[in-house]
Amino acid sequence: MDVDLRKLRYFVAVAEESHFGRAAERLHITQPVLSRQIRALEGELGAQLFSRGKQSTELTGAGRQLLEDARPLLASAQALGRRVQRAARGASVFTVGFMPGITVTRAVREFTARHPELDLQVVRTSWDTQVRAVHEGVLDVSFVRLPVDHRGLTLRPVFREPRVAVLPAHHRLAGKQSLGIADLAAERLLQDPDAVPEWRDLPDRRVDGEDAGPVAAFRSVEEKLEHVALSGGVLVLPLSTATYYTRTDVVHVAIDDIGPNEVCVAWSADRNSPLLPEFAEIAAIAVTQG
């Protein structure tokens, strides 16, 4: 069965907006046209994708499955377009992504020495973009910090490092040599809890009777550190990330009962260029030697 990518884009818009009118505005088409395209897609797939109500539009079980599969498929198609356009311009660019605290200089220099015909570029990423930029074709490879969604990726382990708690300098735990993750149960975590599953799974994360949930609006490490200093929240970061930012109003303390952070080189699983595993091998060796 051939699936029309345009219809998939329309479907994803409706699924994300939960409303045909808002999705039509987002796509710059009329609502009747959008409704016809979704009905046509449902006919092609032989499944109802939405439960349509007066107030909202909800995904069916088939719709939820399609949404899960459609996003990486659309990202892959977008990435393919970028790579073809780049090749058409005669540009031999190899782009490497890296997270804060990860030094890629040695690996990039070694790879450049082997492939002087390539224009090597490095791009700083974040927790939110480290994987998405690979799927979208913005990056050829990316140094990613686990955990990440492995679907559609090939991962090559590179190194592991301890994780630390980042606290305000005046915090009651700031003077300790080390602490346990349970010591942070009463603290407000200023990051995605999926990045710290050990904290997320603690049985009792409460402050004054209220759930101490994460503050999802903070994206960059710099923003989070500002709020650690201002509001007294905490972060759990890899040691190299914590030491990358030098501040006098925050400190970091070792956590002695959680595993290290693992860094991998990631690339799109649907690409078979030999340059990708070659770079990953060089990166692993460079870290071992460095």
Give residue limits of the domains in the chain: 5-81, 92-159+262-289, 163-259
Query: CATH code for 92-159+262-289?
Result: 3.40.190.10
Gap between the Cα atoms of 27 and 14, Å rounded: 10
Q: Residue 47 — pLDDT band, cuts 50, 70, 90? A: very high
Nearest CA-CA partner of 252 in 185, 175, 189 = 175
Q: Residue 207 — pLDDT band, cuts 50, 70, 90? A: very low
Specify which of 54-58, 109-113, 191-195 reaches the highest per-range mean pLDDT: 109-113
Contact 253, 243 (CB under 8 A): no
In percent, the amount of the chain with pLDDT more than 90 equals 42
Q: Using H for helix, E for strand and C for coil, what is the string for 122-153?
A: EEECCCCCCCHHHHCCCCCEEEEECCCCCCCE
Q: 5-81 has which fold?
A: Arc Repressor Mutant, subunit A (1.10.10)
What's the pLDDT at 257? 93
User: Does 3.40.190.10 match the CATH number of domain 163-259?
Assistant: yes
Gap between the Cα atoms of 272 and 276, Å rounded: 8
**What mean pLDDT comes out for the span 107-118?**
92
pLDDT digits (tens, 9 = 90+) for 138-182: 899 999 999 898 888 999 999 999 999 999 999 999 989 999 999
Nearest CA-CA partner of 233 in 212, 253, 219 = 212
Alpha helix ranges (H) inside 220-274: 221-231, 239-244
Contact 120, 112 (CB under 8 A): yes
Phi, psi for residue 258 in degrees, rounded to 5:
-125, 155
Gap between the Cα atoms of 77 and 79, Å rounded: 5
Q: 206: which 2 tokens?
A: 């409460």
The reply to whether domains 5-81 and 163-259 share a CATH topology is no
What's the pLDDT at 91? 55
Nearest CA-CA partner of 280 in 261, 262, 258, 265 = 265
Q: How many helices (H) does the chain have, and how many strands (E)?
A: 10, 13
What's the pLDDT at 210? 46
Phi, psi for residue 123 in degrees, rounded to 5:
-135, 130
Nearest CA-CA partner of 76 in 132, 147, 16 = 132
What's the pLDDT at 121? 87
pTM, 2 dp: 0.65
Can you tell me which residue has the tokens 């356009």?
A: 85
**What mean pLDDT comes out for the span 42-69?**
86
Contact 121, 243 (CB under 8 A): no
**What mean pLDDT comes out for the span 206-225?**
60
Across the chain, mean pLDDT equals 86
